[in-house]
Amino acid sequence: MSRNKPLIPPLLILLLACLSGTAWYLNGSQQSDLFIPKVRATVQPVKMKQCCECHDKVCQQYTGAPHLRTLRKATDPSVLDKFAGRKITLKENGHTYRFYKDHDELWVKCDGYPSPVRIEWFFGSGLHAITPVSLFPNEAGKSELLQHIVSWYPSDKLGITLGLQELAHDRSGIQALGEVSSHASTLNCFGCHTSYLGDVQGEINTKEMIAGVSCVRCHLEGEAHIQAAERGDKNLHILNWNQLTPLDSINRCGECHRRSDQLEPDEIHPDNKLLIRFAPVGLSQSPCFLKQNDVKFADGKTARMDCTTCHNPHEQASRDPEFYRQICLNCHSDLKDHAPVCSKKPMQSECLQCHMPSVQVHDNLPFTDHWIRIHERDKERFPEFLLNKSN
């Protein structure tokens, strides 16, 4: 027997078993297969313009979608001008940050750091925020990300970057500017803001990188699809979202918007306000999602609930409460085998106000709580987390 083949350590087996058990606990019988993220493509996908040759109408619609502009160069005038010539003193740490343009490049100077730093990219579409980022090599020569502590918000205000509030207290050196991520985390961050990162090991290959989330980021096997279409095949080799189970569907969105199986079971409770940022996690806990198979329509089909039930991924999400109320009424009615109607308010009321409220998670930013539920019942379901709350 060869002695060169490594044995799997017992501790690793135990760890894998624990992770598997956690996934089952969170997702129950709906978790049929091990989830394999598709965040970083291993081969260069087809360009969006190739998709648009046949799908022009969808492409025209998608040009206004936030996902397409979730990563932009810092030289982009439409974003650069949101920062250049402005300064802010953060109340969280007392440091002053001054943004300025030099030779069409954006720089930031902080009184807590000895030299200015060039900003290279912007994360975020601007729908919620725009965060400057810089790249630099670590001691091993691998790319690492600096996520700056100051972001722009739709109110046209600068403020502390969401998620970095704790970093602001009693920090100096590079952390006065923001959070430095490891190379692995840097790849994940850029992986969620791109359709392709390139294949250069150890660095972010900006020359090959496809910025933004384009068609092939969600519709896999683009090259095989184009070849099949050119041959006139019946099997067009393309992933359509409705072919996924509801859990697989929200997990695909959750690759970047967070999945429930990435959290510990005791983190998933109403007191954890961080969950409001992670729509797929909240949705996975919602009765509307968990009990969707209980709702049956006149044609014999059961209801389907995933992210695309309410959001067309090819365009910006609607801001009209009536649009979402009508979706609620597809399942909630007095009809047989439908979900119950609201017992407190008429069905003409805005459902979102009570069941999906907007929560201020930041001085400049509200998020919609996607954990759809009757909030008054939180104490019944999670008494251990609400014992200290006043009645």
**Is there a contact between 146 and 136 (Cβ–Cβ < 8 Å)?**
yes
AA identity, residue 194? T
pLDDT at 338: 96
Residue (of 387, 163, 188) closest to 273 by Cα position: 163
pLDDT at 38: 67
**Is there a contact between 178 and 147 (Cβ–Cβ < 8 Å)?**
yes
pLDDT at 35: 56
Q: What does the pLDDT average to over 69-85?
A: 95
pLDDT at 201: 80
pLDDT at 7 over 50: no
Domain boundaries, the chain: 49-211, 241-385
pLDDT at 170: 65
pLDDT at 55 over 80: yes
Q: What does the pLDDT average to over 286-302?
A: 95
Residue 17: pLDDT band by 50, 70, 90 thresholds? Answer: very low
Ranking 31-35, 148-152, 169-173, 204-208 by mean pLDDT, the lowest is: 31-35
Q: What does the pLDDT average to over 66-81?
A: 94
pLDDT at 219 over 50: yes
pLDDT at 348: 86
pLDDT at 42: 67
Residue 362: pLDDT band by 50, 70, 90 thresholds? Answer: confident
Residues 137-173 pLDDT 10s? 999 999 999 999 999 999 999 999 998 988 777 678 8
Q: What does the pLDDT average to over 96-111?
A: 96
pLDDT at 18: 36
Ranking 124-138, 189-203, 221-235, 265-279 by mean pLDDT, the lowest is: 189-203
Ranking 84-88, 248-252, 362-366 by mean pLDDT, the lowest is: 362-366
Residue 274: pLDDT band by 50, 70, 90 thresholds? Answer: confident
**Is there a contact between 70 and 125 (Cβ–Cβ < 8 Å)?**
yes
